[in-house]
Structure 1
Amino acid sequence: MIKFYGYKRCSTSRSAQKWLEDHGVQFEFQDLVEQPPQKEELISWMKQYQDRGLRYFFNTHGMDYRKMQLKDKISEMSIDEAADLMSKNGKLIKRPLVVGSNKLTCGFNEQVYTETWL
């Protein structure tokens, strides 16, 4: 079963959840803000999908991201530093983050979901 890290107050998370439900994809929901993924998990995913870059995992439109001025810091940031920040503040993670065996998506795009989760 896939793990769906979302935020109940996020319209993108709700849209992605509805899409998965409408397509009969079973998932386990975990609130990204109340209980962010552990640092070790994030490091593992970032290394496995390193070709996507660190920016792929960040919620670049979020207030916390802007307040911390991460736009200028990501290029110099290590995976360990990024994972540490995200594990302490789930609002920094692009949502929803959906993880399955050897599959991972950040954000919601119907075409990507069709290709990845169906």
Structure 2
Amino acid sequence: EEKLNKDELKALYLKSGLPLKRFFNTSGNLYKEKHLKDILPTLSEEEQLELLSTNGMLVKRPILETKDKVLVGFKEDQYKELL
């Protein structure tokens, strides 16, 4: 329930091996209001992480971290395979 800070987000991102864009809640109102679809490609990785850390509504959920993996968003088949 607590929002993740920049260092926590960066660690999850690096561990996941996923593109950083996958951590953004692209279907959320805030993402759309800020026109992030157009803005994100112009931002550095650090700027994107800073943006994610400033507002929890921008972060895609759930994020599941295990010893070896990080899953972002809910995909039932991935959860079944992992758990």
Query: What TM-score comes out, normalization by structure 1 length?
Result: 0.63
Q: Which has the higher strand share?
A: 1
Instruction: Give yes or no for the alignment of 1:114 onto 2:76.
Output: no
The percentage of counterpart residues that share the same residue type is 36
* TM-score (normalised: structure 2): 0.86
Residue 26 (structure 2) aligns with: 60
Q: C-alpha distance in 2, partners of 1:57/1:48?
A: 12
5+ residue gaps, structure 2, are none
**Counterpart contact for 1:62–1:91, Cα < 8 Å:** yes
Q: Deviations over 1:32-82 (max 9, x none)?
A: xxx2111101112222334x2122111000001011111012223222112
Are the aligned partners of 1:38 and 1:87 in contact in 2 as well (CA < 8 Å)? yes
Q: 1:90 aligns with which of 56, 65, 68?
A: 56
In the alignment, residue 50 of structure 2 is paired with which amino acid?
D
CA contact (8 A) 1:47 1:79 kept: no
**Could you tell me how far apart the structure 2 residues matched to 1:79 and 1:47 are?**
11
Where structure 1 has 5 or more consecutive residues not aligned to the other structure, the ranges are 1-30
Structure whose alpha-carbon radius of gyration is higher: 1
CA distance in structure 1 between the aligned counterparts of 2:43 and 2:16, rounded to whole angstroms: 16
Higher helix share: 2
